[in-house]
Amino acid sequence: MEIERIPLQKHGDSRGMLVALEQDRNVPFVIRRVYYLFATHDGVHRGRHAHRHLNQLAVAVRGSVTFLLDDGTGPVRVVLDDPAYGLHLGSMVWRELYDFSEDCVLMVLADHVYDPADYITDYAVFLREVRGPVYQEGLAACQSL
Amino acid sequence: MEIERIPLQKHGDSRGMLVALEQDRNVPFVIRRVYYLFATHDGVHRGRHAHRHLNQLAVAVRGSVTFLLDDGTGPVRVVLDDPAYGLHLGSMVWRELYDFSEDCVLMVLADHVYDPADYITDYAVFLREVRGPVYQEGLAACQSL
């Protein structure tokens, strides 16, 4: 699965903490978009989509959130609750976000600006695309039995 | 003064809030570095420098912080306390940051990776550089009286 939990160097001193994310250093892509989620309501689930091409690096800069991730082979659960850890999500990973703490601020860096055409919002379509022609053939063979 | 407080569009719905910063859309430069300050100790002052070339966009994504800004013509005070406002700081602006709330997370986008040579950490040097040759001549004329 194109998913990696990346430890980020904390530059701490008597003043407080600083973490820096830099293109071609600890960010494995060109940064064209930075977005952040905050004031997420209690019990909310977000995400429920995959991206065909987008690369992202997510950091819970405050509070905590849980990711349920799936590259078509089954789900993996990742909790982000530390500003010094980033979650790198490559393309074709289905994600669902939930258990946002009241104070959660989730910051996400992405390598492209917003493009609705890059989203897959139907899990069945995602499975077909991620599993490719072999899966299609298997499915067709099964259905013809 | 090359300082601008920029309102950022909030994409809110029943789930919560999202703000997106995008290159060539609401970010007036190429994003090469994203850093964030957190767990800042009580009473701390940060900054106390200017950049010769760096462009930055700062957002208090959580909590609040005060900027004291000076382009050589005198100080301006700006409070950041809303995730939907960005502060654009051009080059040659002396900044001091203080009154960090306990929960403050200050996120900053910049158009270059870290470069120590771009920092001016001496206020007198900053004034000389920002005020240019005319200031130097005035200073020299004054001192020769």
Give the model confidence (pLDDT) of B89-122 as tens digits. 999 999 999 999 999 999 999 999 999 999 999 9
pLDDT band at B1 (very low <50, low <70, confident <90, very high): low
Backbone phi, then psi, for A64, in 5-degree steps?
A: -145, 155
Q: Which of B23, B33, B36 to substitute to test the interface with A, most A CBs within 10 Å?
A: B36
CB contact under 8 A, A61 and B36: yes
* B→A interface, C-beta within 8 Å: 12, 14-25, 27, 31-41, 44, 46, 59, 61-62, 83, 100, 103, 105, 107, 109, 113-114
- The reply to whether residue A83 touches residue B37, judged by beta carbons under 8 angstroms, is no
Identify the residue whose tokens are 């569009």.
Answer: B9
Q: What is the pLDDT of residues A68-127, one digit of tens each?
A: 999 988 899 999 999 999 999 999 999 999 999 999 999 999 999 999 999 999 999 999
Q: How far apart are CA A45 and CA B132, in angstroms?
A: 55
Distance CA A85, CA A10 (A): 10
CB contact under 8 A, B35 and A23: no
Residue ranges of domains in chain A, CATH in brackets: 3-143 (2.60.120.10)
**What length does chain A have?**
145
What whole-number distance in Å separates Cα of residue A86 and Cα of residue A108? 9
- Secondary structure of chain A in HEC code, one letter for each residue: CCEEEEECCECCECCEEEEEEEECCCECCCECEEEEEECCCCCCCEEEEEECCCCEEEEEEECCEEEEEECCCCEEEEEECCCCEEEEECCCCEEEEECCCCCCEEEEEECCCCCHHHEECCHHHHHHHHHHHHHHHHHHHHHCC
Single out the residue of B27, B21, B4, B9 nearest to residue B87, CA to CA. Answer: B4
Residue A1: what pLDDT?
A: 60
Contacts of B83 in chain A (CB under 8 A): 36, 38, 105
User: Hey, are the CB atoms on B38 and A17 less than 8 Å from each other?
Assistant: yes
Nearest to B67 by CA among B79, B57, B59, B53: B79
Q: How many residues does chain B have?
A: 145
Specify the pLDDT at position B2: 73
